[in-house]
Every structure is written in structure tokens, then in C-alpha cells.
Chain A
Amino acid sequence: METLYSVTVGILTACSVFLILRGRSFPVVVGITMLSYAVNLFLFSTGRLTIDGAPIYGTQETYADPLPQALVLTAIVIGFAMTAYSIILAVRARGEIGTDEVNQQDNSTEGNR
């Protein structure tokens, strides 16, 4: 199970990294979002994998580690904030510059330096 889990996280990461390396803003944002899923899964797994052990006190003998869960819960919400921010940034950039290229364009180079 652990092998399967880590391989899945690895593939998810690889796909996200590939998207982040694209030259347009939209795939980059999607890549960041997917990477945050991968990161969340990764962090979650630092509490090791447990099946049928939800950390509700008094329901069973052994519990899954609640601490990574609490941290990941907030990470999910923060991840949403980040996704939202970056996507709006991308829209704004498109509105301002007129293109969704993530690389600096030569014609706008002069003005910025």
C-alpha cells in the first residue's frame, strides 16, 4: 500500500511540475493547484497510513495521527487562497499586458528596465 501511495504522489507531482513548466499562465495555475494536492497528500502521509482509524476519541483502540490532519486541513484552505490569488493575478496580467505568456516579452522589456 505504501509503495502504491508514494508512487501515486510522485506521479501527481511529476504531472504538476510539467504543467508548471508550461509557457502560459493558465496551465501554470492548474499545475500549482495540482501540486498543492500532491503536497497535501505528502504531508498527510507523514502521520503514516491508517485505515478505519478516524481520530474521534472513544471510538476505537488505535487512531490515525491527528496532527498532520489538522495541519493539512488548514493547508487545503490556504491552498485555495493561493490558487484563487494566482488565477486572478493571471487574469489581471492578461487584462494589463494582453497576453497570457509567463515569459517577459521583448516589447515590454524596455519599459520595465
Chain B
Amino acid sequence: MNLLFIIFAPFFGALLPLLFKQASRPIKTGITLLVPLFCLVVLFQYVPATLAGEVPKQMVEWLPGVGLDFAVRLDGLSLLFVGLILGIGVLIIGYAHYYLSSNDDESRFYSCLLLFMSSMLGIVMADNILLMWVFWELTSISSFLLIGYWFHSSDARRGARMALATTGAGGLALLAGLLIIGHIAGGYQLDTVFAAAEQIKAHAYYVPALILVLLGAFTKSAQFPFQFWLPHAMAAPTPVSAYLHSATMVKAGIFLLARFHPVLAETELWFTLVTLTGLITMLVGAYFALLKHDLKGLLAFSTVSHLGLICMLLGIGTQAAVIAALFHIINHALFKAALFMTAGIIDHESGTRDMRKLQGLMSLMPITATLAMIVAASMAGIPPFNGFMSKELFLDQALQQHLFGGLSWFIPILATVGAMLSVAYSIRFIHDVFFNGDYKETPKKPHDPPRMMSAPVALLGFLCIAIGIAPMTMVSGLLDQAAAAVTGSPVEVKLSLWHGFNMPLLMSVVAVIGGILIYLARDQLFTFNRQFDGQDAKHNFERIVQKTSDAAANFYERLDTGSLQRYIAFVLISVIVVLLPSLSDLSVVTGGKPQLPVDMVSMVGAIILISAAFATATLHRNRFVMLMMLSVVGLVVSLAFAHFSAPDLAMTQLVVEVVSIILMILALFFMPQKTSRASSGHRVFRDIIIASFIGGIVATLNFAILTSPFESISDFFLANAKSGGGGTNVVNVILVDFRGFDTLGEITVLAIAAAGIHKLLNKLKPFMPSSDIDGRPWHRIRHPLMLTTVANILLPMAMVVAAYIFLRGHNLPGGGFIAGLIVASAMILQYIANGVDWMKERFSVNYQSLMSFGVLIAALTGLGSWLFGKPFLTSWFTYLDWPVVGKFEFATALLFDLGVFLTVVGATMMILSNFGKMTTRHRPTHEGH
């Protein structure tokens, strides 16, 4: 068995209810129950070890590079929570079986519930704080699904959204806090973090880390001022509320405080923030709980209040306070789950949860009423129930702390007030519903539910009594270990129901009497509070959300105007702003390398290039002229390559230039021939400024590079090209051998682009001109004789040249890229001269296959080296003796280059022939004019 099963079983088990979607509900419930029961079986094998003070651990590497491992532990604190999550989970599933109506999709419910269970288990068992965060976020998401289970109701959707937004935002803060902690500690394993506790507390980033972690905890546990989301989450089905708000979701924040207690607590800041937040939350929650007329609303605010109590105890942070906090976590989970279930039963049976409509149900639902009284008494803190004991401990702690100096006395007083309110709303829950006069008409005539539906409540009620009577047998062993995990030192817990006559007992008595008095005076309280009506958290929240999204939309409108010109200008201006300051000093960017003398050829070339570039830019309204100018630029660029010792580049550039200009002329056929004057003078001026600055920056950078001396890695390629790659043309050897993998990538990109173009042209309805720009119709001779003749002669010659260029590529300028482009341009000439149909009759190669074959050959050549036990794309060459021709060299790189060749031919032809086809198909016929 493995600890990880406890997390993974519900995670993958969440699929089970969906797989058995067709089965009946009892079967689905049974299958779902198996999952937590299985987890409990696994858990029990580890319980003895944990209770003996060991910490069972397990780890699977996940992302070791970022310090995120799938590490889990089961210390006392984890065990306490795992027990609650699984135990109450089982009861909730059983309860939901009866609660959900026949219209509800129980598969989805069980599935989400198991997912949530898995996330909760992950939080409490994680041994890596990043892993814990992952599960933390998973609870936010899965609780969103659960709260919004009845997604047809707008309340459920809003409640779910509010919970997700609040806890999700807190989760992000938590992540930041955890990253800071992990950074200081030097690792994300819990033990590493614990070991670095002193370091963390002394660190300058302790305060931000603490505040971020507390933000995470307080949002999750609905602590003031984030308590607003919890009551709205009551739109969920009652089993969900019972689960989320007793043992799980909201306890995650409390768990976080307990888990990080050894690391973050016992500082002035921790004490002030946590204790005061807890105190305020306790009072605010209790006050609002009293005012709610909705049963679940009352329970929701009482949850807020009790969470505040636990939070306050953790803030005080002494050993006894920690024990009290952990003890109250158990007690609260038990009685609150039972109370939610009771509220669900009442709602289910009578059709309403409004305490103003309910009264006198005692006679109709005696069993439910008895059970409700037991658990409500526990919530109120009446002996002999468990809630009494933890409240006594709490009051004792409130008395004993002296942390606010001379002002410490106000804490026990306020604690007593909180206890009073707790008594008052507990009485209200019982008295308003079950007594308070005779039964009044409700939507349904209530009666006690099926026995199995109240069984979970009965079990929880029994536990409340059992713990109250025999606390040492029931929970002390567990509390020992849990408290030890929180405080970091061994603990021995002593609990008893009777403490003798002392101050806490007196406070309890005052609380009970005060509670009864408050309850009796409740009508005045309702009247008093009516003046604050309309202050609904939901509306405030919605308003904030609305305002934020309006502001975002507004900002977006201004930023995203849909204008490409604006975007580009924005990007370019940012480049200028960032780069200009550092480049403004020319003396800094000038390197020590001596400049070459300027020769005549370069000078003339530069002048032509500059003039052509200017002409392209300034004559852009006449598009054909612009293209001609562009082709001049391209030609001079290829001459520049030739001049500066790059024959391969010169050849490639030359052929690419031809092909792209042809393509653009084809495109121009479908586009307006001229651009009307669209830009205002103002905009042109702005663009000229931007362009000049960018040009200046590029020129400066280029100058800086050119004048600085450098050491290149190219010596290696030069030295090894012949001996290692078997070729003397170093550029080609780099392409097909040293950096062959790059080239494989490049031809793949080319193939993808060609395929993309193929799709773009699919079902295109291009804009068809019927005449040229001056209104002249197309010439009636579609294929001029002279061109046809020349093209026909040229094709075989081009093929021969291409074959020659291809074969010599390894040793002299040439190679697959260039040969491929030469073949492609000769074939394009055929298309131009003779038309698509003519070509189709004579040459029926599918260019897509050609291209794919090319990529395939190149890839297979690479794979071939695996057969010889060498890494991918290792090349091999030898010298063969061929009669007549003589000795020649054969290299596997040649095969690779063949792949390149075929891809280039295929892709280029695919782009151009597909496109060319369109012009032919749609060209208006003028034959026979």
C-alpha cells in the first residue's frame, strides 16, 4: 500500500460515477462510497505509525527543476484532517443519496465531490509547499463546480463565481508568499522550510511573505473582511454546504495557519494580525448569524464565527491554545456537518428553510428534533457535549494571554460576548424551528426522513456526546501528534469535562444566561438591524466586479483599436525608447577593428541599393513600380552577398528574388493596382520619424558589430569540414551536416507554410479584375509564342544546371536549396508561358507528395544513422571509383540534401501553381475577339 493512493484514489475515482452513468442511483452511491472507504483502509495502515510519533512519507519526482515534487506526508496534523475529510465525506455521500432529487444528475455530483475530496486530501498531505498550492487551487476549482452544481439558478452561479474569484485571488497571493518562503529556505520540502524557520522570521521579506500567506488563508477561511463569499456559497446543495463548510474547504485556511505555525508564528505581527482578525470575524459572524432568517444562512455565519475562534486561538499560539484550536476543529466539523444535514432535512421535508415560516416541528419530526438539539447544544457549548470543552479551553486561553499589555482584559470580555451570541443563535435554530408555538402551514407537510438519511446526523451526534464524555480515549492520542506537528515539540494533551469552579466556567455560565437574554430580545435586534438592509455583500461584490470589468473593457477599447498601424507603431516606439539611450553615444559603440577601404563597386552598389529602397518606399502608391524597385533591391542584395565572399547566399537570393517577385505580381492581379492616398500628412510625418529612428538604431548596431573584433566558433567548421564532413564548401557542409537538424527544421517550416497557403487558397473567392488599371482588357494572346519557345528550350537546360549545382554543392557553391529553387523557377516559367492546363497534361506530379517526400527523405536519412548506433543525423561518406567518370565522393549528406531539394521544389511549386491556377480559372476569356 502506498500513501499516494489516498490522494489518487478519489482523483481517478472521480471518473467512476461518470463511467456508470447509466446505472441506478444506489449502485452509483455504492461505487462512490467505495472510494473513500478504500482510502480509509489505506489510512488505517499508517495510523499506528503516526500515532507513535513517526511521520510516514512518500515521494515521486514530478518537476525537480522547479523544486516541485509529488511528496506526501502523514504527520499528526495531516492525519487529523485526512480523518475528517474521509469520515465526513463518507457520511455526506450517504446523505446526498437521499437528498438529491430525481431530477439531479447524481453522477456529476459524486464526481465533483470526489475531485474535491482528492484536492483537500492533497492540501493536507502535501510535503512540498508548491504541491500544496497546486491542490489549493484545485479545491477552488472543484468547489466552484460544487457550489454551482445547480447551474440553472442564477444565485448558484453567482455564489460559485464569488467563491472562485475570492479564493482564487487569495490563492495567487498564497503562491507568491510560498515562493518567497521557499526562496529564503532554499527548497520547497516542508522539512527544509521548517528547518529554516528562524532564518525566515529574521529575513527582510518575512513581512510580505506573512501577509501574502495570510491573505490566502483568510480568503479561504472566510475571515474578516473576506467573509462575504461564504454565505453566498449556500446556494449550493446542502450536502455540499455540509461538506465544504464543516470539515473541508473553509478549514483549508485554518490548516494553512496550523501548517505554517512553526515557520511564521510567534512574532508580534503574526499575533496581532491573526488574533485580531479572528476576534473580529468571530464577533461579526456571530452577530449576523443571529439575524439570518434562513437556516443555512444562520449556519453559514456561525461557521464564519467559529472559524474566527479557531483562527484567534492559532494567533495566540501557545501550546494550550494550539491544542484548543485543533480540538475545536474536530468538534466544529462534527456538529456543523450534522447541523447542515439537519437544515437540509428540514428543507427537504417541509419545503422551506425560512425560520419565520417554520415552527412547532417537534411534534411532526421528533427524531430530527432530538438530534438537532444534541448538535446545537454542542455548538452552543453546553456540557456534556464536546463543544463545551473546546469552548472552555478557548475562554481559558482568552483569559491567560497577556499579549496586548494593559489592554489585554478586553479579549476575554469580547470572547464571552462571542460565546453569548453563539448560545443565542443555537437557541434560535432549535426554538424557532421545533417549538415557538404550534405547527404552521409549510409548502410540504413534514415528517421524519428515511432512517438512512438521519443516520449520518445520528452518528455525528453520538460522536459529539462520546467525545464530550470520554475525551481522553477518543481524541487525545490524535491531538498529541497533531499539536506536536503544529508546535514542533512533543505534546501531551490532558482533557476533561469538569475543570472545577473557575473563571472559564463562570464565563460559560454568563454566556448561556446572556445568550438566552439576547434570544428573548431578538425582535429589538431585528428592528435595529433593519436600517442596514440593502447592504448586501453580493451587490457590492457584483458592483466591484462590474466596475473592474468596465474599466478593463474601457482600457482595452483604447488599447485595442483594431488598427495594425497603431500596434506596429506602438511596438516600434517602445523599441526606440528602450534602445536609444544606450546607443546614443557613438564612441562607445565603435569597436577597435580597422575598417576595410571602400571600393568603387561597393560604392556604386550601395548607391543603387539606397536609391531603389527609397523608390520602393516613396513610389508605393503605384504598386507595379514598387515591385520593380523591390526587385532591384533584391538583386543588389544578392550582388552584395557575392561581393562579400558568400557565393551560396548570392545564388539563393537571386533565385528567391525571382520567385517572390513572380508571386507578388500574381498577387497584384487580385489586389488594387494603386493605393489611394489614405494617410494624412501628419501620419506620414510620424511614420518617417519612427522609420528614421529605427533605421538609425539598426545602422548603429550594425556598425558596432562590424567594427568590434571577434572570436568565432567557425574555425571548428573550417577545420573539420573536409576531414569530418567530406566536403570543401563549408557553408553547405554546415547546412547538411554540422547543423543538419536546423535545416531539417527549416524545410519543415517551409512545408508547413506551403500547406498553410494551400488551405488559405481553398474556396477563396478572390476579387477579380476584368481589365488592367487603365481599363484596357487583357490581351487576347494568352501565351506569346516567343516566350513559349524560349521557356521550352530553357527547361531542360535549367534541369541540367540544377543537377550540376546540386551535385557539386558539397564542394563548391550550390546545394539542395539553390538547385531546388532553380528547378522551381524554370517550371514556373513554363506555367507562365504555357498555362496551367498545358502543364497539367504533361506533368502530373502532385506537389504536396513531392514536398512531403522531401521532408521524409531528410528525416529518414537522419534516422538512418540510428541503425549504425550513431546519434540522429550523423553523416557518413566514402570515395567510390566509377569506371569512366573516375573517383568520386559519396556522402549520406547528399541524400539529406536531396530531401531539401525535393521539399524546396515541392513547396515553391505548390505555392505558385495553386495560386496561378486561380488566375487562370477566373480570368475572363477574350479568345475570339
Chain A positions near chain B (C-beta within 8 angstroms): 1-30, 33-34, 37-38, 40-42, 44-59, 63-67, 69-74, 76-85, 87-92, 94-95, 98, 100-104, 109
In the complex, the answer to whether B757 meets A46 with C-beta atoms within 8 Å is: no
Residue ID in chain B nearest A49 by CB atoms: B644
In the complex, the answer to whether B664 meets A66 with C-beta atoms within 8 Å is: no
Query: Which residues on B sit within 8 Å (CB–CB) of A48?
Result: 593, 706, 710
Residue among A4, A11, A26, A98 making CB contact with B695, cutoff 8 Å: A11
Known contacts A4-B602, A12-B609, A82-B753; is-contact A67 B698 (Cβ 8 Å): no
In the complex, the answer to whether A55 meets B746 with C-beta atoms within 8 Å is: no
Known contacts A20-B568, A91-B670; is-contact A38 B602 (Cβ 8 Å): no
Residue among B561, B637, B729, B766 making CB contact with A40, cutoff 8 Å: B637
Chain B: interface secondary structure? helix
In the complex, the answer to whether A17 meets B695 with C-beta atoms within 8 Å is: yes
Query: Which residues on A sit within 8 Å (CB–CB) of B706?
Result: 2, 5-6, 45, 48-49
In the complex, the answer to whether B760 meets A80 with C-beta atoms within 8 Å is: no
Query: Which residues on B sit within 8 Å (CB–CB) of A56?
Result: 728-730, 811-813
In the complex, the answer to whether B564 meets A103 with C-beta atoms within 8 Å is: yes
- In this complex, the member of A2, A28, A84 whose beta carbon has the largest number of chain B beta carbons within 10 angstroms is A84
- Is B717 in contact with chain A by the CB < 8 A criterion? yes
Residue among B687, B718, B817 making CB contact with A77, cutoff 8 Å: B817
In the complex, the answer to whether B705 meets A45 with C-beta atoms within 8 Å is: yes
Residue among B647, B656, B690 making CB contact with A21, cutoff 8 Å: B690
Residue ID in chain B nearest A60 by CB atoms: B645
In the complex, the answer to whether B694 meets A95 with C-beta atoms within 8 Å is: no
Chain A: interface secondary structure? helix
Binds A, one of B25-33, B138-146, B150-158, B620-628: B620-628
In the complex, the answer to whether B595 meets A66 with C-beta atoms within 8 Å is: no
6 more A-B contacts (CB under 8 A) besides A33-B630, A84-B663, A94-B670?
A21-B568, A54-B646, A63-B730, A66-B731, A74-B743, A84-B660
- Is B678 in contact with chain A by the CB < 8 A criterion? yes
In the complex, the answer to whether A67 meets B646 with C-beta atoms within 8 Å is: no
CA distance A102 to B718 in the complex (A): 47
Chain B positions near chain A (C-beta within 8 angstroms): 561-566, 568-569, 572, 593, 595-599, 602-603, 606, 609-610, 613-614, 616-617, 620, 623, 626-627, 630, 633-634, 637, 640-641, 643-649, 652-653, 656, 659-660, 663-664, 667-668, 670-672, 675, 678-679, 687-688, 690-692, 694-696, 698-703, 705-707, 710, 712-714, 717-718, 721-722, 727-731, 734-735, 739, 742-743, 746, 749-750, 753-754, 756-757, 760-761, 764-767, 811-813, 817, 821, 904, 907-908, 911, 915
In the complex, the answer to whether B761 meets A92 with C-beta atoms within 8 Å is: yes
In the complex, the answer to whether A44 meets B646 with C-beta atoms within 8 Å is: yes
Residue among A58, A82, A88 making CB contact with B760, cutoff 8 Å: A88
In the complex, the answer to whether B702 meets A42 with C-beta atoms within 8 Å is: yes
Residue ID in chain A nearest B914 by CB atoms: A88
Distance of B810 from chain A, by nearest CB (Å): 11
In the complex, the answer to whether B907 meets A81 with C-beta atoms within 8 Å is: yes
Residue ID in chain B nearest A59 by CB atoms: B728
Query: Which residues on B sit within 8 Å (CB–CB) of A98?
Result: 767
Query: Which residues on A sit within 8 Å (CB–CB) of B813?
Result: 54, 56
Known contacts A4-B598, A81-B753; is-contact A34 B633 (Cβ 8 Å): yes
In the complex, the answer to whether B664 meets A34 with C-beta atoms within 8 Å is: no
In the complex, the answer to whether A55 meets B730 with C-beta atoms within 8 Å is: yes
Distance of A64 from chain B, by nearest CB (Å): 4
Distance of A27 from chain B, by nearest CB (Å): 4
CA distance A57 to B732 in the complex (A): 11
CA distance A79 to B750 in the complex (A): 9
Distance of A88 from chain B, by nearest CB (Å): 5
